[in-house]
Structure 1
Amino acid sequence: MDRNLALEVVRVTEAAALASARLMGRGDRNGADRAAVDAMRRVFDHVSVRGEVVIGEGERDEAPMLFIGEKVGRQGEGDVEVEIAVDPLEGTNLCATGAPNAVSVIAIGEKGKLLRAPDAYMEKIAVGPGARGAIDLRLSPTENLRRVADALGKYLEDLTVVILDRPRHECLVAEVRAAGARIKLIGDGDVSGALNTCFPESGVDVLMGTGGAPEGVIAAAALRCVGGDMQGRLRFASEEERARATRMGRSDPDKVLSLEELAGGNVMFAATGVTNGDFLRGVHFTGDGARTHSVVMRSKSGTIRYIETIHRFARAPDYGH
């Protein structure tokens, strides 16, 4: 995949962020998500790829745009074939309430290299480069924390664990507290939570818990770019979800999946902040346009580029409408 594609793709996340940011704090999570999807879809039509959405807004019957299996991009002769994982607005509740860490994210991989996962739950553990190889989802949270602490050269009591604030995590939270580690509970946005483990300034060492499988694949692509590590295991709420996973090619739906099995080959990742967060600043509207803050990463080179863009709505398409 050409490195110029990474810079082209950031226009897609910028458009989604601009559109959803107009609805920040207005309590309309569905409206913000729909605005992000619409904007992302329009800009994708101008990207020089023959793309297929493998992680999107749901099945064809559940989502009007960016559904699993949808073809996106110009689809021109000679355009590179890629698989695409998108979350036009990761943190819909965060955007609706004006809370931190809402982002627009996209991952692009080589054909056949991104996990094709149903819209189910995934048990996850993620760490930064310093603890790569130390995690094992088959072990208890306490044992994983011990291994991560050893790898990082820290006392276990100095670790900070990010966990989604959900009732299903009561036992996990209790065990992490009993082990002595510190906890940062987040209301949404576990892609950002996983990525924060790779940047010491975030103060986050580990992400644990169960969240969306689509977000797990996107997070894995991001971690591939920055040298982190992650494992995931699908968790099903019904037999229909399990059967859907089998139809999508998961011969062993209960398998613990490595980082490379979640997002293998060469991958690219782009994200644009919607609201201010630990990792990216949110959209700031000015009198005649807006400023956006994005990151673009590639696994092949390990390059991380931060991009601050000034948008002049009088001179360029306003993706917020």
Structure 2
Amino acid sequence: MVHRPIQQRTPLFAYCLRNVTEAAALAAYDWVGRGDKNAADGAAVEAMRKELNALPIEGTVIIGEGAKDEAPELYCGEAIGLSRNRAKFDIAVDPVEGTSYTAKGIANALSVIALAPRGTMFDPGPSYYMEKIAVPKEAKGLIDPEAPTADKLKVLARALGKPVRELTVFLLEKPRHEKMIEEIYAAGARCALYPAGDVMGGLLAAFPDSGIDMLLGTGGTPEGILTACALRAIGADFMGRFDPQSETERKVIAEFGLGTEEWLMMDDLVSSDQVFFCATGVTDGILVDGVTVEGDFARTQTLMISGPYGERQVLTSYHMVEAD
């Protein structure tokens, strides 16, 4: 049998959008291994904003660099593009996911963006931390977020048709996860522990044959919304619950009207399949290669995902650069 695509679906817009993350990654590359994560982030923010404003869209930053008084560019609520455009989007950005990775010159730093139609992306306000669960499409709708860790693993194993001992769970290696890690070990499954990068972890949990079957644990709320957008397009599942890590954050999100008991499902976090997601490597990683420069050209690699059919591509591009 010859398998053919249902139709040619990948929008040309995805190829325009990747210019945004590629520009940010190229700007951050100058700071790889130089010990200054703020400089890397600042360069990426400036480059990303410039390319975003060149897109034919009317956008609003929902997930950005912070409140307006904290960030001069790509702040939450900032209008992007030209108001005369009909294409209206909510925007989530992380110009450098893994600023410390970039500063130290180690793997898995990314530049990330997601777009969804206006009014369909959840606004988490001042929330900084979120407990997350990400699973592949085979387990969509099957995981009870309130269930014990061992029960979650049993359900996932049945959905994937393999024993629990063959499951691998991605978690951030943080003290807050010590109990959960022990529960995973006790159930017989494996852990893949990383110091940062749970957008990558969520994507790996959704991709077949990645070696990761599930993401669990608490990480950044902005990264959670970005991951939800990508997984919505792929057809996988994601859910999150706000999990403040300080009394100050708990008080602030309560004042904003956010609770800490209720789990938000995929439809709560992003309610449209018409999403676009791009991630460009800053440093070499599991998902994509990082920026490399040889002579007059810089090489980038970008993961592009387009909804509603979950098409994904990895695009390698060569950019002419000016010599120092």
Q: Provide TM-score, normalisation by structure 1.
A: 0.92
Q: Note if contact 2:21-2:112 (Cα within 8 Å) is conserved in structure 1.
A: yes
Task: Give the Cα separation in 1 of the matches to 2:87 and 2:248.
Answer: 34
Q: Confirm whether residue 6 of structure 1 aligns to residue 2 of structure 2.
A: no
**Letter of the aligned partner of 2:268 in structure 1?**
E
Q: Confirm whether residue 108 of structure 1 aligns to residue 115 of structure 2.
A: yes
Q: Note if contact 1:48-1:76 (Cα within 8 Å) is conserved in structure 2.
A: no
Measured against aligned partners, the alpha-carbon deviations of 1:119-148 in whole angstroms (never above 9, x if no partner) come to 421000101122222222111111111111
Which residue in the other structure is 1:126 paired with? Answer: 134
Q: Confirm whether residue 192 of structure 1 aligns to residue 200 of structure 2.
A: yes
| Aligned partner of 1:288 among 275, 289, 296 | 296
Q: Confirm whether residue 313 of structure 1 aligns to residue 321 of structure 2.
A: yes
Which residue in the other structure is 1:269 paired with? Answer: 277
Q: Note if contact 2:172-2:198 (Cα within 8 Å) is conserved in structure 1.
A: yes
Q: Note if contact 1:136-1:231 (Cα within 8 Å) is conserved in structure 2.
A: no
Measured against aligned partners, the alpha-carbon deviations of 1:38-61 in whole angstroms (never above 9, x if no partner) come to 110111121111110001111111
Q: Note if contact 1:222-1:269 (Cα within 8 Å) is conserved in structure 2.
A: yes
What is the deviation of 1:240?
5.3
Task: Give the Cα separation in 2 of the matches to 1:111 and 1:239.
Answer: 32
Task: Give the Cα separation in 1 of the matches to 2:212 and 2:147.
Answer: 21
Task: Give the Cα separation in 2 of the matches to 1:61 and 1:306.
Answer: 36
What is the deviation of 1:108?
0.3
Given the superposition, is the C-alpha separation of residues 247 and 86 from structure 1 closer, same or farther in structure 2, using an over 3 Å criterion?
farther
Measured against aligned partners, the alpha-carbon deviations of 1:71-116 in whole angstroms (never above 9, x if no partner) come to 112x141341110000000111111222221111100011111110
Task: Give the Cα separation in 1 of the matches to 2:30 and 2:191.
Answer: 32
**Letter of the aligned partner of 2:300 in structure 1?**
T
Which residue in the other structure is 1:59 paired with? Answer: 67
Which residue in the other structure is 2:244 paired with? Answer: 236
Map 1:118-197 to 2 at 5 A. Answer: 118-197=126-205
CA RMSD across the alignment: 1.9
Which residue in the other structure is 1:215 paired with? Answer: 223
Task: Give the Cα separation in 2 of the matches to 1:255 and 1:218.
Answer: 20
Which residue in the other structure is 2:93 paired with? Answer: 86
Taking every aligned residue pair, what percent have the same amino acid on both sides? 43
Q: Confirm whether residue 35 of structure 1 aligns to residue 62 of structure 2.
A: no
Q: Which moved more, 1:19-28 or 1:48-57?
A: 19-28
Q: Note if contact 2:234-2:309 (Cα within 8 Å) is conserved in structure 1.
A: no
Q: What SS does the corresponding residue of 1:41 show, helix, strand or coil?
A: helix
**Letter of the aligned partner of 1:93 in structure 2?**
S
Given the superposition, is the C-alpha separation of residues 305 and 249 from structure 1 closer, same or farther in structure 2, using an over 3 Å criterion?
farther
Q: Note if contact 2:132-2:238 (Cα within 8 Å) is conserved in structure 1.
A: yes
Q: Provide TM-score, normalisation by structure 2.
A: 0.91
**Letter of the aligned partner of 1:140 in structure 2?**
P
Task: Give the Cα separation in 2 of the matches to 1:24 and 1:200.
Answer: 31
Given the superposition, is the C-alpha separation of residues 247 and 49 from structure 1 closer, same or farther in structure 2, using an over 3 Å criterion?
farther
**Letter of the aligned partner of 1:309 in structure 2?**
S
Q: What SS does the corresponding residue of 2:290 show, helix, strand or coil?
A: coil
Q: Note if contact 2:111-2:280 (Cα within 8 Å) is conserved in structure 1.
A: yes
What is the deviation of 1:284?
1.0
What is the deviation of 1:305?
2.1
Q: What SS does the corresponding residue of 1:47 show, helix, strand or coil?
A: coil
Measured against aligned partners, the alpha-carbon deviations of 1:193-223 in whole angstroms (never above 9, x if no partner) come to 1001122332000111000111000000010
Task: Give the Cα separation in 2 of the matches to 1:17 and 1:119.
Answer: 26
Which residue in the other structure is 2:5 paired with? Answer: none
Q: Which runs of 5+ in 1 are unaligned?
A: none
Q: Note if contact 2:61-2:92 (Cα within 8 Å) is conserved in structure 1.
A: yes
- Detail structure 1 runs of 4+ shifted over 3 Å in the superposition: 237-250
Task: Give the Cα separation in 2 of the matches to 1:51 and 1:258.
Answer: 24
Q: What SS does the corresponding residue of 1:285 show, helix, strand or coil?
A: strand
| Aligned partner of 2:29 among 21, 40, 48 | 21
Q: What SS does the corresponding residue of 1:197 show, helix, strand or coil?
A: helix
